[in-house]
Amino acid sequence: MKRSKLLHEGKKFMTQLKVLIISEEILFEIIVFRLIRNMAKKT
């Protein structure tokens, strides 16, 4: 029982980690996109 609970917690943690990584990637893409757009405006 203890082992299955640990496995369940581990899966939950991995899911949260995946969501975090995906949202950080989206955030990074938005920042890069804005930077490129700002540089294009200046020139």
Using the predicted structure, report yes or no on whether residue 14 has a pLDDT greater than 80: yes
The number of domains in the chain is 1
* Average pLDDT of the segment spanning 6-13: 94
**What is the domain range of residue 14?**
1-43
Using the predicted structure, report yes or no on whether residue 39 has a pLDDT greater than 90: yes
d(CA 13, CA 18): 9
Least Cα distance to 10 among 39, 32, 2 occurs for 2
* Average pLDDT of the segment spanning 7-22: 96
* Average pLDDT of the segment spanning 9-16: 96
